[in-house]
Amino acid sequence: MKTPLSLTLALFAAATLPAVAQNGKPDPEGFIRDWLVLAPFSIESESGGTEIDKKQFADEALPAAKDGAKQKIGDKELTWKKTAANEFYVDFKALHPAQSENVIAWAVAYVIAPADQSGLTLAMNSNDQGKAYLNGKELVKFTDTRTLEKDAEDKAAGATLKKGVNVLVLKVINQENNWQGSVRFLDNAGKPVTNLKIETKP
């Protein structure tokens, strides 16, 4: 039996909704779902704890990320790609299933604040090692292996979003199994900050 075109379109929209529902803003829990992702970059086995402290390319903390742009890392060239996360976290393994162990990924979001916002907390989670930069400054880091649990975030208090564009960088290393990362901002009462615009272009 043929499926009417209108129903086909509706089913397609429903199937794709989770990936685009938060496009341009954080989700209701504050998690950022729109990213530019650079991956995978291979590292030596069991080296995640040391590699997280290195800058694999000079402007890692403040990269010139845009969709389709090339990034040179050592003798390898990777491409920044726009991604919309289906969950509260970015699933790097789903993006790169053929190469997901002993690897690094970077994710960039341009966070647009309507006004200066101080006294915030940047909350990051990662599987395994992770680091987050805001406007070129490292705010939080995790150096061990772990699974990703929504409420077991590493938090950096005293974060400030300036009015206008803020550059958020998430770096996640995976040694084995799942490869995921998440970031959100919380206000001084611990509530998610959702009055932001999220862009994937500078």
pLDDT one-digit tens code per residue, 108-134: 999 999 999 999 999 999 999 999 999
Distance of CA 151 to the CA centre of its chain: 17
**Cis ω on the peptide bond leading into residue 40 (within 30° of 0)?**
yes
How many domains does one find in the chain? Answer: 1
Residues 6+ apart with CB under 8 A from 160: 116, 117, 118, 119, 120
Per-residue tokens: 10: 């509706």
Helix, strand, coil fractions of the chain, as percent rounded to 5: 10, 45, 45
User: How many angstroms separate the CA atoms of 152 and 105, rounded?
Assistant: 21
CATH number at residue 109: 2.60.120
Is 174 in a helix, a strand, or coil?
A: strand
Provide the pLDDT confidence category of residue 10 given band limits of 50, 70 and 90.
Answer: very low
CB count, 10 Å around CB of 44? 9
pLDDT one-digit tens code per residue, 157-179: 999 999 999 999 999 999 999 99
User: What per-residue confidence (pLDDT) applies to 5?
Assistant: 44
pTM of the model: 0.89
Q: What mean pLDDT is reported for the chain?
A: 91
Q: Which domain holds residue 168?
A: 5-199
Is 101 in a helix, a strand, or coil?
A: coil
pLDDT one-digit tens code per residue, 24-60: 999 999 999 999 999 999 999 999 999 999 999 999 9
